[in-house]
Chains A and B, each alone.
Chain A
Amino acid sequence: MLRTTIRNLMARKIRLVTTGIAVLLGVAFMSGSLTLTATITHTFDNLFVDVFAGTDAYVRGQEAFDASGPGNFGAVTRPRVDASLVSTVAAVPGVKAAEGNLTGYAQIVGKNGKAVGKPGNGPPTFGGNWPKVAAFNAYHLVAGHAPEADDQIVIDAGSADKGDYAAGDTATVLTKAGPIQAQVVGVAKFGEVDSALGSTFVFFTDRAAQRYLATPGKYDGISVVAEHGMSESAVAERIRAALPTGTEVVTGARMTKENQDDVAQALSFFGTFMNIFSIIALFVGSFIIYNTFSILVAQRSREMALLRAIGASRRQVTNSVLLEAFVVGTLAAVLGLGAGIGVAAGLKALLDVIGFDIPATGMVLTGNTVIVSLVVGIVISLVAAWFPARRAAKVAPIAAMRDVAVERADRSRLRIGLGGLVTALGVLALLGGLFGDVSNPLRLVGLGALLTMVGVAALGVLFARPATRLLGAPLERLRGVTGHLARENAMRNPRRTSTTASALMIGVALVGFITIFASSAKASLNKTFDDQFTGDFVVDSGTFGFGGLSPELATRLRDTPQVAAVSSHRITSVELDGAVTQLNGFDPVGLERIADIGIVQGKAADLDATGLAVQEKKAKDKHWTIGSKVPVTFAETGTRELTVRAIYRDHSVAGQPGLNEFVGLAVFERNVPDAFDSQVYATLAPGVSVTQGRAAIEAVTANYPNAKVQDREQYKKAQTAQINPLLALIYVLLLLAVIIALLGIANTLGLSIVERTRELGLLRAVGMTRRQMRSMIRWESVLIALFGTLGGLGVGLFFGWALVHALADQGFNVFRIPVVSLAVISILAALVGVVAAAVPARRAARLDVLRAIATE
């Protein structure tokens, strides 16, 4: 049997190559994303090893709440320590040196007037105090000297390069305290490189750092070097005894590990995100394997029957098919693994292009990646070939005596029954996950979506004939007999057509779903904004939590006569009633004049230093009413009882979605020391035109190069455009599934052509030109593609509808079907059909007529 298998493999090289490529692409993507994730993790691991290399112990405030978990990366959870603690720690026996450490937001403005770096969606822009103890300083001067006065700074070589600065220049630095002027007295490098993973750094003296970045008299923590011969844990032990309550000490090793773990946590989200696309690609690939082996088995059923007739057992026949799948799967997985390294580099480049600047140096292929990729590639191949293999074994020996055994184009009851059942289960799981109250909804929704697609693919056999008949109807008028033949060919084997189309169906379902979802999200944002925002301008920083606009800017706007009302927006991480969340703060008085968020109970004006506003539904769920006390834990000040003072209707304020609660700025003033404004909203005074208003506002913002002044329309556009990079990324990643589907169509067509050699030869003999032959194959392909697209759009529409309605709570108040986009998707899918047909059509046209006629 082994020899037969090998012979079969050789004889069907081309088919198996395309089938193999389908698996290869999936595996390559999987190993690529695993490799990229591992590489990024590795890069950060090394970074933190370098940063904490000279630190034996670190003293810091105790965590106010635990924000470890995906989505909370970078959340500040600890209060700062008093500067006086430095001398206490330094005095502990065994401590060789101790120094306060401070890091915060600072952004240098280049000579061209533009701020260097994009803290909103790129590496952070740091400011800090210049460590005088060399062991704590990961940077070293390459020019000039350390800052000695409060108006002197050292910048990293990357910033010096981008901002066009050299030692001796005067530069503007954006800080919490507003833009400041400082003299660049030195330029420093991070080890060998200009800057650490693309982040920028402005170093001040301790006093200036406290003033501009944090709070006078405070440090983030205290770095410690031990005396020679003193272990990290021993020195930490001694320091611990000297610490006041509310502070703690950890070893340098622990510090390194914690930082590494935080990054790994944050990346796990990225890893999951990429894995979803690997699974999609492999899922689509499995359809190709299934289909190819089904057709091959059908075409070889005579040979199988012969084998059975001369004494091969069923198991031997099954195994021979599975062995083929195993060989193909293994080869594809191995090659895919290799290709994965290229994919990783490509993904990184792609992320760069789309605007996610990801640090990664030198690709890291882990053992885990190798094993997962190989196992997944091989197992997928075997599972997908299992059903065709079983079918092969069922070929009766007698079939060898019968004439041509074409694939049974049956619509077996079992398939339809199972398809219906799986679809029903999938829909149930999906809806259950979305609307039900389950512990792990995402997983249930994913499973539901997967099952729905498998079920619909199985049911496709019911629709393949009527659908292609309908879709092909105009073709006859357009293309005459070629079109007629194309339509008939698409209709002749519903099972093959539907399985082939399934792969594309899945791709289109996902693309359609994302498109519908994104357009609904944008429409919802716009609608809410239009309904509630009564202001005229938004000054946007483009950041979310780290850094932003100096509060000074809002103050200055308030003093501008052309501006009638101002409200600024701040964000911080807190623990609210037991859950870590982003807390939003607004200027309550200004807010009422800028947005009508539908306050149903209480008053915004009541939002004092202990007031809390809660969204209606959340209040109901939590049984909160006006006057309810809600515990909120802040990093700096610990747990505070806030009192519900207002209950409102909308889920978003001025385009900021997911707003389940907010507080007045007074709460921020009291509990969040280094607050920045993410946005500042402004309403113009009566009689001031938009042009005059803009001029007045821009006169203020001119000093803040990170401030973007946008009128209503500009802001709306910018808000909705925020989804675009992510959307673009998802589209590109889904493209992979579409390419695999394309391979699948090409494969089926190729196999069909082999099967129809005689028929094609006959057509050529009686006068079909090569061009007509190509056109016939192409249109068949387009019909299959359109059929898949139609199914995909149906499924995508359902997914989109379900998700949008499930998220009604989160402010999704519009379900929008983007007709134009969906039409474009359909046209593109038809083009996929054209591309997929290119090679098979050429081969069919090149067919040797005589050989075709003579073929047995």
Chain B
Amino acid sequence: MSTSTAAYTDKARKVYGRGDTEVVALDDVSIAFDAGQFTAIMGPSGSGKSTLMHCIAGLDELTSGRAFIGDVDLSTLDDKALTLIRREKIGFIFQAFNLVPTLTALENITLPLALAGADPDQQWLDTVVGTVGLADRLRHRPSELSGGQQQRVAVARALASRPEIVFADEPTGNLDSRAGTEILAFMQKAVVELEQTIVMVTHDPVSASYASRVIFLNDGRVVSELTDPTPESVLDRMKQFGE
């Protein structure tokens, strides 16, 4: 397992609004995500988890400070370059509505590659599809899949281009616990067996325990950190910050 850094921020600051309505969503956050790690981000609602993720993923711009994917400073890139970074180096899993309804599961999975005009690495694709257990569902449209299956397709899509880092914002938030557990297991497997890097936002201590490291945010600041978490240790730490 390599120990290089997949992404990091340097004094990342994000301020919404101005004057009376000013909200500091990120308050000089400096944090690094090692390659090959499964990191969970936790924190109360409004603590800046999504904001942090969007800024590192090149979906949003920082007010000040810098965010890096590998060693590329995102603040130096224009929309086109950011888009290319997203499709080549980053994978996404959102809470819901992850899939393009007009495309089949397989087409959704290979979408970033297709957008890049690249041929999928068939062996890798088979591995990913095998890992998330979708082989028999590939020709179906999203509307013909269950919510859990849809999220599995999303995981496969995020991994398909073998990105440097995958961001998942509450990927199990809309699923029942069994389906959620499955997804988390796949993500863990992807990190452990396929050497992928995943950063996941979650509210659930059990979900967080699948990660190897948990970062706690509050009011836009990193307030704590745990390695090799268990549901209990996470819960303890959460209580400390009054969530």
Contact = CB atoms under 8 A, between A and B. Distances in A.
B115 A767 contact: yes
Interface string A480-496: 11101100110110000
Interface stretch (B38-46, B92-100, B175-183, B227-235): B92-100
Given A485-B102, A767-B87, 8 more contacts: A762-B100, A765-B92, A766-B86, A768-B83, A769-B83, A770-B83, A849-B59, A853-B59
A850 B169 CA distance: 13
B101 interface: yes
B102 A766 contact: no
Given A767-B86, A767-B87, A759 B115 contact: no
B87 A763 contact: no
Contact of B94 (A488, A768, A853): A853
Interface stretch (B63-71, B106-114, B187-195): B106-114
B60 interface: yes
A492 B111 contact: no
A80 interface: no
B213 interface: no
B23 interface: no
The listed residue with most A CB atoms (<10 A of its CB), out of B59, B60, B84, is B59
Interface string A94-115: 0000000000000000000000
B97 A766 contact: no
B136 interface: no
Contact of A485 (B83, B94, B103, B117): B103
Given A480-B114, A850-B60, A766 B103 contact: no
Given A485-B100, A492-B102, A762 B83 contact: no
A766 B87 contact: yes
A771 B84 CA distance: 12
B79 interface: yes
A308 interface: no
B54 interface: yes
B88 interface: yes
Contacts of A764: 83
A532 interface: no
15 contacts: A480-B114, A480-B117, A481-B111, A485-B100, A758-B97, A762-B98, A765-B92, A766-B87, A766-B157, A767-B86, A767-B87, A767-B88, A768-B83, A769-B115, A849-B59
A484 B83 contact: no
A543 interface: no
A701 B39 CA distance: 99
Contacts of B60: 850
B92 A766 contact: yes
A592 to B, nearest CB: 72
A813 interface: no
Classify chain A's interface size: 20 to 34
A765 B86 contact: yes
Contacts of B101: 492, 759
Interface in A744-773: 758-759, 762-772
Interface of B: 54, 59-60, 79-80, 83-84, 86-88, 92, 94, 97-103, 107, 111-112, 114-117, 157
The listed residue with most B CB atoms (<10 A of its CB), out of A481, A485, A770, A849, is A481
B102 A481 contact: no
A759 B108 CA distance: 12
A853 B87 CA distance: 16
Interface string A766-782: 11111110000000000
Contacts of B103: 484-485, 488
B107 A769 contact: no
A481 B115 CA distance: 6
Nearest to A764: B83
Contact of A489 (B80, B92, B102, B112): B102
B159 to A, nearest CB: 12
Contacts of B116: 767
The listed residue with most B CB atoms (<10 A of its CB), out of A492, A763, A764, A766, is A766
B77 to A, nearest CB: 13
Nearest to B85: A767
Interface in A806-856: 849-850, 853
B224 to A, nearest CB: 27
Contacts of B94: 762, 765, 853
B79 A481 contact: no
A759 B86 CA distance: 16
B80 A766 contact: no
A768 B94 CA distance: 16
Contact of B59 (A484, A485, A489, A765): A765
Given A485-B100, A850-B60, A770 B86 contact: no
Contacts of A481: 107, 111, 114-115
Interface in A83-136: none
Contacts of B80: 769-771
Contact of B115 (A758, A768, A770): A768
Interface string A458-482: 0000000000000000000000111
Contact of B111 (A488, A766, A849): A766
A480 B117 CA distance: 7
Contacts of B86: 765-767
A489 B101 CA distance: 10
A756 to B, nearest CB: 9
Contact of B107 (A484, A491, A767, A849): A484
A766 B107 contact: no
Contacts of A771: 80
Contacts of B157: 766
Contact of A759 (B79, B83, B100): B100
B164 to A, nearest CB: 13
